[in-house]
Amino acid sequence: MTDAAGLVNGTSPRRRYLRLLGIFWRNSVATEMEYRLNFVANAILSVFWLGWAAVGVGVYFRFADEVGGWTYPELLVVVGLFFTVNGVRQAMITPNLARMTEYIRMGTLDFLLTKPVDAQFMVSLRHVGVFNWLDPALGIVLAAVGLAASDRTPTAGGFASFLVLLVAGVVIMYAVALALMSASVWTVSSEGMDDVLQGMVETARLPVQLYRGVLQTLLTVGLPVAFLTTFPAEALLGRGDVHLLVVAPLIALATVAAATAIWRFALHSYSGASS
């Protein structure tokens, strides 16, 4: 194992954090690979749920060629991106969010705060769930299938926009998760926090245009669900709004900044487990 002192002295902060991330993730993988049967079983279930979602959404198209301006293959792109974004949530956010209750109740948070690395980094990225490793990749495959079936090849610009918007969407999702983690410092529990985030992300299974009126506005402006799957999908399909290329990263930065501020404020008012 790597010597802790060697990590802290003589390496730039960015390299240090990257090496830590590598250690954390190798650790998580090693732990979860102990349960090889579960690993395989979860892979099978990932494929099953992907097929289930793809076929389920197809029922609407028995009666229409287009719903809300989206054809079936175009909709599959959104469903695929949902699996990617949701997979990232389950792998990187859920394990850490779930542990917040334990950190606070057991006083582990105090312990984390004494470590020479940023507590936000530890709390956010310490654990990675390996069981859903296949979901992000499967999601991309489904999106590619949808693209092919809708006869669209993204231009270089379209693909680049897609990457920007997808990353912005994931960052926004992280910002919401961080805000929830901060809230759990106050409520001394993160129970149900993952359910809230999951509920929000679940609405991204479908493009935001399929919801109507108030709900659609809410999911674009109130809760930034449209940024998760709808906007990246539109970029891939060549029907996106160009302004989003500026707006999305700005919103991503703003939400992360706000969430980080909330986190710092929560830590300030955190008086420790022993008080």
Partner 1 sequence: MTDITDSARRLAIAYRGMVRAALANALAYRGRLAIWLLTSLFPLIMMVVWLNVVDEQGPAAGWTSSDFASYYVAAALVFQVTQSYLVWIWDDDLRNGTMSFKLLKPVGVFHQFLSQEIGIRLVTLAFLLPVVVVAALAIGDVQYAVGPARLALVALAILLGFLLSCTMAMSFALIGFWSTQSGNLYSLWWGAGAFLSGWIAPLELLPDALRSAATVLPFRSAVGFPLELLLGRLDSGDVAVGFAVTVGWLVGFAFVFGMGWRAALRRYQAVGG
Q: Which is nearer to partner 1, 102 or 191 (CB)?
A: 191
* E-state strands within 45-144: 66-67, 70-71
Q: Which is nearer to partner 1, 218 or 247 (CB)?
A: 218
Compute the least distance from the CB of residue 185 to partner 1, in Å: 16
Q: Which is nearer to partner 1, 125 or 207 (CB)?
A: 207
Q: Which is nearer to partner 1, 196 or 247 (CB)?
A: 196
Compute the least distance from the CB of residue 235 to partner 1, in Å: 23
Tokens of 24: 């954390």
Instruction: Look at residues 100, 234, 230, 89 and name the one whose alpha carbon lies nearest to residue 161.
Output: 234
Compute the least distance from the CB of residue 210 to partner 1, in Å: 5
Q: Which is nearer to partner 1, 67 or 91 (CB)?
A: 67
Q: Which is nearer to partner 1, 84 or 216 (CB)?
A: 216
> By the criterion CB under 8 A, which residues form the site for partner 1?
35, 37-38, 41-42, 44-45, 48-49, 52, 55-56, 59-60, 62-64, 66-68, 189, 191-192, 195-196, 198-199, 202-203, 206, 210-212, 215
Which pairs count as long-range contacts for 27-35, CB under 8 Å and 24+ apart, including other chains?
A: 28/95, 28/127, 28/128, 28/129, 28/130, 29/128, 29/130, 32/129, 32/130, 32/131, 33/130
Q: Which is nearer to partner 1, 213 or 272 (CB)?
A: 213
Tokens of 152: 């669209």
Residue 206: how many CB atoms within 10 A of its CB? 22
Strand-pairing partners, residue 71, are 66
Pairing type for strands 70-71 and 66-67 reads antiparallel
Which residue type is seen at 251? I
Compute the least distance from the CB of residue 6 to partner 1, in Å: 39
The CA-atom distances, in angstroms, between 261 and each of 85, 125, 254, 255 are 24, 18, 11, 10
Compute the least distance from the CB of residue 20 to partner 1, in Å: 32
Compute the least distance from the CB of residue 71 to partner 1, in Å: 13
Compute the least distance from the CB of residue 110 to partner 1, in Å: 24
User: What span, in angstroms and rounded, lies between the C-alpha atoms of 128 and 233?
Assistant: 26
| Ramachandran quadrant class, 2 (left: phi over 0; alpha: psi -120 to 50; beta: rest) | beta
Compute the least distance from the CB of residue 192 to partner 1, in Å: 4
DSSP for 9-57?
SSS-HHHHHHHHHHHHHHHHHHHHHT-HHHHHHHHHHHHHHHHHHHHHH
Q: Which is nearer to partner 1, 7 or 45 (CB)?
A: 45
